[in-house]
């Protein structure tokens, strides 16, 4: 079976191809594309040792201009490629529209032109917006709060239109907040660790009371495989874990692992449009026979050790993140 993986060296994409290699390496021929805009993606390419894998450096918006796949017949495209950091979307929304909406459109056109029978598009639970009590099911209305989540919601509408217009078989997945190794140091856990390892304090928005639904990236990978193998022709699936925590509790766990006190927390001005709580009902996915397996506390200790022992992997990207934060704050 031939799979095309877009964004193959990004956080979830790279963990996914490693998951395939660890569990199904004789079942798939993997083809990957990535723009390699992030230094972390470049680092992943350098250390990658995936069997039956062919890589092409390519931005998804240019996928229909490339001749790299003229002789390949694909069974499925799995689209991980996206701009994902909410803070950056506030600062440069046009980049998110370009990658997450135009890029998805080009991937769908590519699938039509290549007569690829199935596309699996990776979206986000953030398309539903925030709720203090509700657990959103797949048929809930979209209510995005940031340019990032709006771009992902828009991409899903493009997918729906392509399904209705062209009869495309498209599967949509909406994962909760992913965590794990190989995550760029712009997200809460790796950014907090990088700050501590650079003698800086952890930065927490507002009072740290915002609630996130934490899903390990390996559980995301296994869920995607389960959904891809299902007989659904056009459907959306939430992916969750039922692990909910306030941001302040997550950073306190990090400090505890490193034997540091809470004086290493600095509370900063909240970001605009900051959603209070993300929460999804993933009973539909459970009916396929899937369940999450990761233990948050155990995985957080492993992640902490990994970032401590792989500073060269994240150092350059971390410095880039700090510069972007200064720009957002109007300091340069």
Q: Is 160 a catalytic residue?
A: no
CB-CB contact of 17 with 50 (8 Å): yes
3-state SS of the chain: helix, strand, coil percent to 5?
A: 45, 20, 35
Q: Is 125 a catalytic residue?
A: yes
**Catalytic residue (one of 34, 87, 126, 156):** 126
**Catalytic residue (one of 34, 125, 299, 317):** 125
SS3 107: helix
DSSP label of 119 = E
CA distance 135 to 214: 14
CA distance 119 to 228: 9
Q: What is the DSSP string of 225-275?
A: HHHHTS--SEEEEEE--S-EEEHHHHHHHHHHHTT--GGGEEEEPPPTT--
Torsion over CA of 110, 112, 113 and 116, rounded to 10 degrees? 80
If you search the block for the tokens 């007989």, which residue do you land on? Answer: 231
**Catalytic residue (one of 148, 179, 278, 318):** 148
Among left, alpha and beta (phi > 0; psi -120 to 50; other), residue 129 is left
Q: What phi and psi values does residue 203 have, to the nearest 5 degrees?
A: -105, 130
The secondary structure of 164-190, three-state, reads HHHCCCEEEEEECEEECCCCCCCCHHH
CA distance 93 to 111: 27
Q: Is 75 a catalytic residue?
A: no
How far are the Cα atoms of 10, 158, 159, 314 from residue 38, in angstroms, in the given order? 8, 26, 26, 10
Closest CA to 180 of 189, 192, 171: 189
Active-site residue list: 125-126, 148
């Amino acid at each position: 079976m031939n799979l095309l993986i877009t964004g193959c060296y990004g956080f979830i994409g790279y963990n996914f191809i490693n998951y395939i290699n660890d569990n199904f390496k004789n079942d798939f021929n993997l083809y990957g594309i990535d723009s390699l805009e992030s230094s972390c993606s470049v680092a992943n390419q350098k250390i990658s040792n995936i069997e039956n894998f062919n890589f092409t450096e390519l931005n998804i918006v240019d996928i229909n201009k490339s001749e790299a796949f003229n002789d390949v017949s694909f069974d499925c495209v799995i689209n991980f490629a996206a701009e994902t950091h909410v803070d950056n979307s506030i600062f440069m929304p046009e980049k998110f529209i370009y990658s997450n909406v135009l890029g998805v459109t080009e991937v769908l056109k590519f699938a039509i032109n290549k007569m690829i029978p199935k596309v699996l598009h990776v979206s986000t639970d953030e398309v539903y917006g925030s709720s203090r009590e509700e657990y959103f099911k797949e048929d809930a209305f979209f209510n995005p709060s940031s340019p990032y989540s709006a771009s992902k919601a828009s991409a899903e509408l493009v997918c729906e239109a392509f399904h209705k217009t062209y009869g495309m078989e498209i599967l949509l997945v909406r994962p909760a907040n992913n965590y794990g190794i190989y995550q760029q140091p712009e997200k809460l856990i790796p950014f907090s660790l990088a700050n501590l390892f650079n003698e800086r304090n952890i930065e927490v928005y507002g009072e740290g009371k915002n609630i996130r639904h934490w899903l390990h990236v390996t559980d995301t990978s296994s869920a995607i495989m389960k959904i891809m193998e299902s007989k659904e022709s056009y459907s959306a699936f939430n992916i969750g874990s039922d692990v909910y925590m306030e941001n302040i509790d997550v950073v306190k766990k990090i400090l505890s692992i490193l034997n540091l006190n809470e004086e290493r927390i600095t509370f900063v001005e909240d970001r605009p449009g900051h959603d209070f709580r993300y929460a999804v009902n993933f009973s539909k996915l459970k009916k396929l026979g899937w369940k999450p397996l990761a233990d948050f506390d155990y995985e957080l200790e492993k992640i902490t050790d990994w970032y401590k022992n792989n500073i060269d992997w994240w150092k350059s990207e971390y410095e880039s993140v700090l510069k972007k934060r200064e720009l957002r704050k109007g300091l340069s």
